[in-house]
Amino acid sequence: MTRSLVIAPQWIGDAVMTEPLMRRLAARGEVLTVGALPWVAPVYRAMPQVAEVIDFPRFAHGGLQWAARKAQAQAFRGRFDAAYVLPNSFKSALLPWLAGIPRRIGYHGESRYGVLTQRWPNPSRTERPPMVAFYSSLSGETAGLAADRPRLQLPAGEVAEALARQQLVPQGFHVFAPGAEYGPAKRWPAAHFAELAVLLDTPVLLLGSGKEAALCEDIVAAANARRPGACRNLAGATTLLEAFALIASARGVVSNDSGLMHVAAAFGVPQVAVFGSSSPHHTPPLNDAARVIWLKDDPAYAPPLDCAPCFERTCPLGHTRCLVDVTAQRVLLNL
């Protein structure tokens, strides 16, 4: 039996895309403990193959915080045979090294000589691989990487409790996730979300973090003024696992390229994902029931989006037409 520590990524979407790696490691007998930041840890609690999840503290930016990292590493001494370091930063590899874990696996990342015992070469910056394959490759296996699809699972009781708290029935509502932590160049306009909510024949739940509550409130105000009761703002009002339960029970989900987009895909929910500055060739929703709208790939759209994907937080050209020109009617037809 191999006891393995996994150092998780810092983003919800990235964490979801590591699930096939977890599945591969568990299938060959590795007992998995995942160390994750508090807002990411619930993702791993929806992965039955993970034996233990440890909430990591967030170390301050700047400096290596040796004392804090040594104290955390001391608790790991002698517990693990291997460590998989999923982020690419030098700091993320320090804990397994300080804990003396014999095998420490990850990408070369930020010149991580010494702190890792097995370093995989960094992928090309110009040809970004699909993120699921990027993580799954750390298993050392090569077969079937392209077919890996994340899957999340919640106990039926947790789902039922979340629905009861919101007085909802399965398939009786849609979910919108209008936020995108990375920046506005990934966010479909709030006015378009509001228009789509008016066009639907079910209530719409708006999910996201507390930082997205004001954005969601704007959508609620615009939609409910035209169709009373169209939307409810739950951004910041649920735990992440409660949000997962609501997504898993929704009739459909509409989102940007975001962490909750990958959550919906991992639960197999019908969804429409609107892409702007990023690329669905790099981070697609891996779900047969997903529909992606990206004007870059639309041969009928003119003038062509030669600027996409720019991967910028804000539109360098100031127009964000890659998102503005996606209409609510078009999304509705794909939902």
Residue 17 is encoded by which pair of tokens? 């895309």
H or E element, residue 74:
helix 66-74
Contacts of 330 (CB under 8 A, 6+ apart): 293
Check: CB of residue 154 under 8 Å from CB of residue 241: yes
Q: What are the chain's domains?
A: 2-146 (3.40.50.2000), 156-334 (3.40.50.2000)
pLDDT for residue 62: 61
pLDDT for residue 66: 78
pLDDT for residue 255: 98
H or E element, residue 175:
strand 174-177
pLDDT for residue 70: 86
Contacts of 84 (CB under 8 A, 6+ apart): 4, 5, 6, 7, 21, 25, 105, 106, 138
Q: Whole-angstrom Cα distance, residue 246 to residue 224?
A: 21
User: For residue 21, which amino acid is it?
Assistant: L
Which parts of the chain register pLDDT below 70?
A: 59-63
pLDDT for residue 290: 97
Check: CB of residue 268 under 8 Å from CB of residue 25: no
